Amino acid sequence: MNEPSAVFVQVRHSDTLTTAVRRGGTWSAAGVAVSWSDGTVDVGARAVSRVAIRWSEPLPAGALILGDAWERSYGDLQWRHQQPERLLPWYFLSHDPRTGRTTGAGVDVQPNAFCSWTVDAGGFTLWLDLRNGGGPAQLNGRTLTAATVRRFADGGTPWLTLHAAVAAMSSRLPARPEPAPVVGANNWYYAYGENFDEKAVLQDATTVVELADGHPVKPFCVVDDGWYPDGGNASGGPWDIGTPGVFDDLAGTAAAIKAIGARPGLWFRPLRVREPGAWGRAGVDDGRALDPSYPEVLDLVRADLRRFRDWGFELVKHDFSTYDVFGRFGPAMGSELTDHGWQFHDPTRTTAEIVLAFYREVRSAADDVVLIGCNTVGHLAAGLVDVQRTGDDTSGRDWERTRKMGVNTLAFRLPQHDRFFAVDADCVPCTPETPWELNERFLDLVARSGTALFVSVDPAARTERSDRALSEGIRLALSGGDASGIEPADWLVNTTPAAWRSGDEAIHYDWSRPWGADPVSP
């Protein structure tokens, strides 16, 4: 592991980066001490915002660069030519088209800092964001292990190198138990939180069980947003009752789903309430976004998860927590992450520490319930959720959104599958508003991949053709997908790969609309 060429520190946001002076294995400046030991970075300080660690190792001219995303991807993962200001969260790969070699660097999962990279003509820099909200973390003299850095050697191809990189970054996680495939129905992309009730949910359960056609692995039926009072628009808790006259007995709903032969699942937004409270996150939604550094907030979340378990739900999808912590979705986070000036109730921990503690509490409270993280930070949630929604929403109303979000995230984050968590590229819709011939191709890809597969089937859109394809896809996914594995063949030049390989088989997916219909929209 090569030692850094230089280290820089920043105590307050208004400060310029200060060059640290090295003495032995420690770099010091502005009251901050940064030590390096075989890739492990420790930071000691009274207060600190950021640390930048620099390697003066120029990359090959013409190299293509790949990075990850802070939380979900938004159709934006891609190989690009060198772009010095481009932020590369968590890890990066550099591919030399002339030699075919691919190398890179990253940090182990569950770090105590938000970690990103920049790459320029003279080398590359690791940025450790150690802030607490929008201000410096008040470490008060303690020493924090911020991250463990990994360097990635060429694995033979860019795809194999990314696989090896993901394996290295997750090598300290406990071995994942052999997971049962996570497959089922989710009503969001035809109901969108409106005009559905227990009868519709039980119809979804009946549909997915019929389509599974006796497969020994039971599918899930997930009740998404809209089951609680004033629901349908992610308005927040409390999560103690369903909508009166619509979901009067959620324990009964879960039991009825089980009686049909499916496994019940439930969506919720743990860090938001409908009315302002004492534990609100400073300056956001008048106190309706909860601050997870309050012990009382974690008590609420634990109670919610215990309640869902007691009702009989076997899967819980927790959503929106990144937005509720930062006040931004991933694409708007950038290098600043959040607005300046505010801090958590507990200013002595970094934001990463607080988010990690929240995920750990959710995991512990959920016990044996299958956890899906949506709008969760993948590099922090790795090992703490069973399934991760790795991309932004697909759509039951706009096929272009499914192509952009679903295909992109599956292609570029597939190596994370069953190492960080089970990858979920989001639902395959079957709706009157979207062309089934294109959704069917996405269904085939997701089913072959062996990743989580959820379908949103509008009863009005079912046909003999769609039912046949859905049944084949669901049964393949319940069996673990294509045993030969699948990989994108044109991902170096295409953000939504059309050419794929499964063993020796070449597969082509045409993601365009049928000839004569609307072209791909900008």
Specify whether the CB–CB gap between 25 and 36 falls below 8 A.
yes
> What dihedral do alpha carbons 349, 355, 356, 358 form, nearest 10°?
110
Q: 179: which DSSP letter?
A: P
Q: Which pLDDT score is estimated for 515? A: 47
Collect contacts of 407-410 with beta carbons under 8 A, ≥24 apart: 407/442, 407/445, 407/496, 407/497, 407/509, 407/511, 408/73, 408/75, 408/76, 408/77, 408/78, 408/495, 408/496, 409/72, 409/73, 409/75, 409/77, 410/445, 410/446, 410/449, 410/451
Specify whether the CB–CB gap between 506 and 489 falls below 8 A.
yes
Q: Which pLDDT score is estimated for 179? A: 72
Specify whether the CB–CB gap between 385 and 378 falls below 8 A.
no
The model's pTM is 0.97
Residue found under tokens 């045409």: 510
Distance from C-alpha of 205 to C-alpha of 388, rounded to nearest angstrom = 22
Q: Count of residues for the chain?
A: 522
Q: Which pLDDT score is estimated for 522? A: 57
Q: Which pLDDT score is estimated for 1? A: 73
Fold of 183-483: TIM Barrel (3.20.20)
Q: 232: which DSSP letter?
A: S
* Count of CB atoms situated within 10 Å of the CB of 86: 16
Q: 405: which DSSP letter?
A: I
Distance from C-alpha of 459 to C-alpha of 336, rounded to nearest angstrom = 44
Which residues make Cβ contacts (< 8 Å) with residue 484, sequence separation at least 6?
A: 502, 503, 504, 505
Distance from C-alpha of 253 to C-alpha of 50, rounded to nearest angstrom = 49
Tell me which residue of 181, 385, 363, 319 sits closest to 263, measured CA to CA. Answer: 181
Q: Which pLDDT score is estimated for 94? A: 98
pLDDT tens per residue across all 522 residues of the chain? 789 999 999 999 888 999 999 999 999 999 999 999 999 999 999 999 999 999 999 999 899 999 999 999 999 999 999 999 999 999 999 999 999 999 999 999 999 999 999 999 999 999 999 999 999 999 999 999 999 999 999 999 999 999 999 999 999 998 877 778 999 999 999 999 988 999 999 999 999 999 999 999 999 999 999 999 987 789 999 999 999 999 999 999 999 999 999 999 999 999 999 999 899 998 777 789 999 999 999 999 999 999 999 999 999 999 999 999 999 999 999 999 999 999 999 999 999 999 999 999 999 999 999 999 999 999 999 999 999 999 999 999 999 999 999 999 999 999 999 999 999 999 999 999 999 999 999 999 999 999 999 999 999 999 999 999 999 999 999 999 998 899 999 999 999 999 999 989 999 999 986 544 555 555
As given in the structure block, the two tokens for residue 420 are 């960080």
- According to CATH, where is 3.20.20.70 located in the chain? 183-483
Q: Which pLDDT score is estimated for 3? A: 93
